[in-house]
Amino acid sequence: MRALAFAARSLVRQPGRTALGILGIAAVGALLFDMLLLSRGLVVSFRDLLDSVGFDVRVMSTDAAPLGGPRVPHASAIAFELAALPAIAEAVPVRLTDAEASTRGTRPIGFSLMGMDARGRRPWTLTAGRDLGRDAADTPPSLLVNRLLADALKASPGDEIAVRVVCAADRAALPPVPFRIIGVAAFPFDAAAERSGVASRASLAIACGGDGGDDADMLLIASREGYGPDAAVAAIRRHRPDLHPATNDEIVARMQATGFTYFRQISAVLSTITLLFGFLLITVLMTVSVNQRLAEIAAIRALGFSRARVAADVLCQSALLVGCGGVLALPLGIALSIWLDAILKAMPGIPSALHFFVFEPRALMLHAALLSVTAVLAAVYPMALVATLPIAATLRNEVVS
């Protein structure tokens, strides 16, 4: 009977303690797994979110984060210039602002309004009605709203609503302008409780009384197939050194270096603590088990089992406990991560498509590697106990006791 089978039988002999050990490791392993998912979850999810809208470069007026700096003036002309570059397939100026919408006799409802000249790629998914057309000259101007705003307004495609746009913080409020809801769409960057809509930039300029009509908060750029985002960024920098383009990867890297580091740090601290708990749990269980079996171990040493063999038995027991617990930890960790993700996503301003816990194969591999190391380290002390056990003295003490 080899060491692994021997260890398995030893564990089965003590079902209560074995079950406690496995459950303990499952709980610790689930937390560890979640911390590993959390450590890169936001980064992966944020990158997926950026990529999902079909544009791989953002152009801003400064190096500030998108929507964090001054607007880009003369955005239409710049978009036209950039779209003519060979590395660029599409350039779309985007303006974002706050607005209020109301139907007849109802109280105004606040929402986020995006002004965007819809061309080929559209960073939303139409769910009802019709999409914005390329021609922005509708009267009244067309508007797509998300489901929450449509429900709040009790409006559906074809209905006319009044929209008052907050064009600038230092300007007096403008009178509301009629818009027609032509469709309902899902916007990937919407928070769970966010009401939002999109209209053409021209419509937004009308609602603002013509003020800042050709400004944009940023330009969304889609690189041409065969060139890629890095080539697109290089081309923009050559053509317009005054602009600040960034690929999705660069934006993610900037976010990773600032806001997302907190999650990584929290994850590292909690991972270390959970591993320490797992290490202590297995070390204590194995040490107690070994101490209760000293006479038995001394007897098998007397029968000719080598030090390495009895130490291997302990290592295999530790590996089995941690292995079984680690496997059980995965479904437990996934269930826990779904629950925690839902709690964290309830924070205001978090896009509902963004996830804090994202599964990656590397997280699974790291989980397995960390638990394996824990199993080995946890077995070191009890292995040393059995390997250095004085056989004769132990047998003598057992008989005397």
Partner 1 sequence: MTAPLVEARGLTRTFPMHAGPVHALRDVSLRIDPGEYLAIRGPSGCGKSTLLHILGCVDTPTSGTLIFDGRPVGALPDAARSALRLLSIGFVFQRFFLLPMLTSSENVEVPQAEAGVGRRERRRRTAELLDYVGLAHRGDHRPAQLSGGEAQRVAIARALANRPRLLLADEPTGELDRATGEQIALLLDRVQADGTAVVVVTHDPAIAARAARTLLMRDGRIVP
Residues of this chain that interact with partner 1 (CB under 8 A) are 1-2, 6, 9-10, 12-13, 295-296, 299-309, 391-393, 395-396, 398-399
Contact by Cβ (8 Å): 353, 49:
yes
Q: Which is nearer to partner 1, 304 or 361 (CB)?
A: 304
CA–CA distance, 53 with 397 (Å, rounded to integer): 74
Q: Read out DSSP for 226-243?
A: TT-HHHHHHHHHHH-TTS
Which residues face 99 on adjacent strands? 111, 165
Contact by Cβ (8 Å): 341, 355:
yes
- In the complex, the smallest distance separating the C-beta of residue 2 from partner 1, rounded to whole angstroms, is 7
Phi, psi dihedral angles at 97 (to 5 degrees) = -155, 170
Question: What six digits make up the tokens of 244?
Answer: 């600040």
Q: Which is nearer to partner 1, 16 or 210 (CB)?
A: 16
- In the complex, the smallest distance separating the C-beta of residue 387 from partner 1, rounded to whole angstroms, is 9
- In the complex, the smallest distance separating the C-beta of residue 288 from partner 1, rounded to whole angstroms, is 17
Q: Please, what's the largest Cα pairwise distance for the chain?
A: 102
Contact by Cβ (8 Å): 162, 176:
yes
- In the complex, the smallest distance separating the C-beta of residue 315 from partner 1, rounded to whole angstroms, is 17
Q: Which is nearer to partner 1, 135 or 398 (CB)?
A: 398
- The Cβ of residue 334 has, within 10 Å, a number of other Cβ atoms equal to 16
- In the complex, the smallest distance separating the C-beta of residue 391 from partner 1, rounded to whole angstroms, is 4
Q: Which is nearer to partner 1, 302 or 347 (CB)?
A: 302
Q: Which is nearer to partner 1, 40 or 301 (CB)?
A: 301
Contact by Cβ (8 Å): 178, 164:
no
Q: Which is nearer to partner 1, 68 or 390 (CB)?
A: 390
- In the complex, the smallest distance separating the C-beta of residue 401 from partner 1, rounded to whole angstroms, is 10
- Taking alpha carbons only, the member of 216, 125, 199 closest to residue 165 is 199
- In the complex, the smallest distance separating the C-beta of residue 365 from partner 1, rounded to whole angstroms, is 34
Contact by Cβ (8 Å): 25, 281:
yes
Q: Which is nearer to partner 1, 305 or 381 (CB)?
A: 305
- In the complex, the smallest distance separating the C-beta of residue 324 from partner 1, rounded to whole angstroms, is 17
Q: Which is nearer to partner 1, 254 or 309 (CB)?
A: 309
What distance lies between CA 380 and its chain's CA centroid? 37
374 Cβ contact list (under 8 Å, min separation 6) = 275, 278, 279, 282, 322
- The Cβ of residue 217 has, within 10 Å, a number of other Cβ atoms equal to 22
CA distances from residue 384 to 96, 123, 163, 314, 337 in whole angstroms, order as listed = 66, 61, 76, 10, 38
Q: Which is nearer to partner 1, 95 or 293 (CB)?
A: 293
- In the complex, the smallest distance separating the C-beta of residue 373 from partner 1, rounded to whole angstroms, is 27
